[in-house]
């Protein structure tokens, strides 16, 4: 009996201690939950003060707005790309020609004179040269002063240029010889100014204002001339084309009809000379050239000390369908109807209605 009571008592003691432990653990848990809830309430109250919305609702709002902002950014990018495509011109855009990587400055010498077709001729040539980089254009007016309309054309090309007036002096033919001579003198005395800081070499080319030029003439032929470059010219010398005869990469003769025995039977538009050759001589266009039968090209090149062995031919590589990159064209003078055909007096200049025309 005593034993049973002790057992029951012992059991009772054990149950009471376990109950106390359980109550303590439950109390701690309640206290922890209360503390956590209190923290959450404090955080939520703080969020209400700062944002005005509960934390969870705020996060939902932020997610919603974030998706909205992302959608707007994507829509803006699509609209911007579409508008950029619309801004692209539908017409072809011409870029500056870059046919090679040489650092030679091309120096184009153009004699010019007053005539009714001069402005359209200069416009055509200016439009061609404006596509060539590293080019200095020297224009010499056959007159005592320059012409504003021509200067305006030169300004619009954005090319570096020199425009000066030198009226043909007595003894020279009025064919641009004296103007080219003055250009050569200018080149020799202003070399560093023409080349600038970015160029150490140059090539001189005599380009008339009424010829027709392919941009590749400058980028693939002229810029690569190391001494004397020569190529074909169309519609010149009383024939369809004049060209050097090339055998084994060397010029042995010239395929021309007029005076083929010239050492350099070439048209003015058919050659270019490296600047070093020009600077190492004092050769100019004289008042006459008997060796050329009246044509000045061979006299100039011979006076520069050049030989046929110095010629670098261009454009001959194909067996057929070779391309001509320069044409000796000439704008014909328009047939202007005179008002008084039977009058002995000199007819007045035509009415231009306020527009500038070199009549």
Count other Cβ atoms within 10 Å, centred on residue 250.
Answer: 13
Element (H, E) at 274: strand 271-274
Residue 274 pairs with which residues in a beta bridge? 203
User: Is 121 annotated among the ligand-binding residues?
Assistant: no
Could you say which of 297, 302, 312, 317 is catalytic? 297
Separation in Å, CA 167 to CA 29, 109, 149: 112, 16, 18
Burial of 47 (0-12, 13-18, 19+ CB in 10 A): middle
Q: For residues 81-120, b (16+ Cβ closer than 10 Å) or e, as one string?
A: eeeeeeeeeeeeeeeebebeeeebbbbbbbbbbeeebbbe
Token output for 143:
């007159």
Cβ-contact 289, 263 below 8 angstroms? no
The rounded distance, in Å, linking the Cα atoms of 155 and 159 is 7
Known catalytic membership, residue 220: no
Q: How far is CA 204 from the centre of its chain?
A: 21
CA angle in degrees (0–180, nearest 5) for 51-54-60: 90
In order of 23, 140, 204, 308, 337, the CA distances from 207 in angstroms are 111, 12, 10, 22, 32
Q: Which residue do the tokens 């044409």 mark? A: 327
Question: Which residues sit in the known binding site?
Answer: 210
Question: Which residues sit in the known binding site for Mn(2+)?
Answer: 210
Catalytic residues: 297
């Amino acid at each position: 009996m005593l034993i049973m009571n002790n057992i029951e008592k012992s059991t009772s003691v054990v149950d009471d201690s376990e109950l106390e432990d359980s109550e303590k653990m439950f109390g701690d848990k309640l206290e922890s939950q209360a503390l956590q809830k209190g923290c959450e309430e404090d955080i939520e109250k703080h969020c209400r003060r700062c944002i005005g919305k509960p934390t969870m609702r705020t996060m939902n709002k932020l997610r919603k707005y974030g998706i909205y902002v992302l959608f707007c950014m994507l829509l803006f990018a699509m609209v911007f790309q579409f508008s950029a495509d619309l801004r692209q011109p539908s017409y072809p855009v011409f870029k500056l020609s870059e046919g090679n990587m040489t650092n030679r400055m091309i120096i184009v010498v153009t004699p010019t004179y007053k005539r009714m077709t001069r402005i359209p001729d200069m416009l055509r040539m200016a439009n061609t040269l404006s596509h060539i980089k590293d080019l200095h254009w020297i224009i010499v007016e056959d007159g005592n002063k320059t012409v504003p309309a021509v200067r305006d054309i030169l300004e619009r090309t954005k090319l570096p240029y020199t425009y000066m007036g030198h009226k043909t002096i007595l003894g020279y033919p009025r064919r641009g010889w004296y103007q080219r001579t003055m250009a050569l003198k200018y080149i020799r005395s202003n070399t560093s100014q023409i080349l600038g800081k970015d160029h150490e070499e140059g090539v001189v080319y005599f380009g008339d204002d009424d010829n027709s030029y392919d941009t590749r003439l400058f980028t693939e032929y002229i810029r690569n001339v190391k001494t004397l470059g020569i190529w074909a010219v169309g519609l010149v010398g009383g024939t369809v084309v004049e060209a050097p005869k090339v055998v084994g990469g060397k010029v042995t003769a010239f395929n021309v009809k007029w005076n083929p025995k010239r050492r350099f039977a070439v048209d003015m538009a058919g050659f270019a000379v490296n600047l070093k050759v020009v600077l190492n001589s004092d050769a100019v266009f004289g008042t006459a050239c008997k060796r050329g039968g009246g044509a000045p090209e061979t006299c100039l090149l011979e006076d520069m000390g050049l030989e046929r062995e110095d010629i670098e031919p261009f454009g001959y590589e194909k067996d057929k369908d070779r391309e001509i990159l320069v044409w000796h064209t000439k704008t014909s003078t328009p047939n202007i109807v005179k008002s008084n055909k039977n009058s002995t007096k000199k007819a007045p200049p035509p009415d231009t209605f306020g527009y500038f025309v070199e009549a």
